[in-house]
Amino acid sequence: MTALNSEQAIGIFDSGLGGISVVRALIDLLPHEHLVYFGDTARVPYGSKSNETVIRFSHQISSFLLDQQVKMVVVACNTASSVALRSLQENLDIPVVGVIEPGSMAAVAVSHNKQVGVIGTASTIRSGAYSSAIKAIDPMMNVREQACPLLVPLVEEDWPHDGVVTEVLEEYLKVFARNKPDSLILGCTHYPYLKPAIQRVIGNDVKLVDSGEETAQVVRDVLEKLGLLNDQGSDPGKHRFYVSDFPQKFEETASRFLGRSLENLFKVELEVLESYKHLK
């Protein structure tokens, strides 16, 4: 491996466009960093797929990002972080940061009653990754997890203010009514877009923890520690976006998630992506 340097980009990947919530957090915190984002829009969602498949996809994408000379890989997808992070960390020569640990650390830090709630996709919740991470930080924590599979399509359809969202949230969040947690981890890339609705339904006494925002802080700390932080000069970082498909309403969804239109956008054919099988 050639030596890494601070001028190299940070690689970020997600199952689709939801991970742009993490890109936004990174741009806010680290405006000089160059970013290369990969959204697997041809194969989204990951949340209902088997662990084996998500691990395979995560390896392919990380290999692709390595080819783009990134200095670090950020796994923005909660599902991929839950099931593939360890395997990626064992196989890549560069630092790999996921969203589970940063979110867990923040939830433990803000909880006073030692009750933490977690919401995520079916795969993330089934993996128990958040529970394990929280208990590794503080074994006295009580963690209750709830899969919310309908929320991703509702966000993609841009229904955040619709009564249907409130009804769906009331149904999902009622598990937290007894022994109410005082912190709730938004354990999915899409949930930050529903923050106001989630807060309204769960109540203002519960602190919502955005795993993506917390991850941006950890990325900064790791890069700083390794002497790889790009915080010099006045030029903003350059951002490149790769996707495996341009699905219907792509432009609309992408710019809604980023808050502006996506520039420097490229498509990577699935056959090309699938040829990236090995990490080294």
Q: Which residues are catalytic?
A: 77, 188
Please, what is the minimum distance in Å from the beta carbon of residue 65 to ligand DGL? 16
Please report which helix (H) or strand (E) contains residue 225, including its range.
helix 211-225
Which of 44, 201, 42, 194 is CA-nearest to residue 123? Answer: 44
Please, what is the minimum distance in Å from the beta carbon of residue 117 to ligand DGL? 16
- For residue 245 the two structure tokens come to 């498909």
Residues 6 or more apart from 242 whose CB is under 8 A from it? 36, 37, 38, 39, 64, 265, 266, 267, 268
Which of 4, 11, 15, 26 binds ligand DGL (CB under 6 A)? It is 15
Residue with smaller CB distance to ligand DGL, 4 or 97 = 97
Which of 167, 204, 165, 166 is CA-nearest to residue 183? Answer: 204
Using CB under 6 A, count the residues that bind ligand DGL.
Answer: 17
Residue with smaller CB distance to ligand DGL, 77 or 218 = 77
Please, what is the minimum distance in Å from the beta carbon of residue 189 to ligand DGL? 4
Please, what is the minimum distance in Å from the beta carbon of residue 275 to ligand DGL? 22
Binding flags for ligand DGL, 125-164, as an x/- string (CB under 6 A): ---------------------------x------------
Residue with smaller CB distance to ligand DGL, 190 or 239 = 190
Residue with smaller CB distance to ligand DGL, 230 or 257 = 257
154-173 in b/e form (b: 16+ CB < 10 A) is bbbeeebeeeebeebbeebb
Which of 11, 18, 103, 212 binds ligand DGL (CB under 6 A)? It is 18
Residues 6 or more apart from 43 whose CB is under 8 A from it? 15, 57, 244, 270
Residue with smaller CB distance to ligand DGL, 79 or 183 = 79
Which of 70, 113, 117 is CA-nearest to residue 92? Answer: 70
State whether the Cα torsion 119-120-122-126 is positive or negative. negative
Amino acid at position 207, single letter: K
**DSSP state letter for 11:** E
The answer to whether residues 62 and 73 touch, using CB atoms and an 8 Å cutoff, is yes
Which of 121, 215, 230, 244 binds ligand DGL (CB under 6 A)? It is 121
User: Binding to ligand DGL (CB under 6 A): which residues in 173-202?
Assistant: 188-190
Residue with smaller CB distance to ligand DGL, 19 or 181 = 19
Binding flags for ligand DGL, 60-99, as an x/- string (CB under 6 A): -----------------xxx--------------------
Stretch that binds ligand DGL, among 8-16, 173-181, 194-202, 244-252 (CB under 6 A): 8-16
* CA–CA gap between residue 175 and residue 167 (Å, rounded): 14
Please report which helix (H) or strand (E) contains residue 161, including its range.
none
Binding site for ligand DGL (CB under 6 A): 14-16, 18, 44-47, 77-79, 121, 124, 152, 188-190
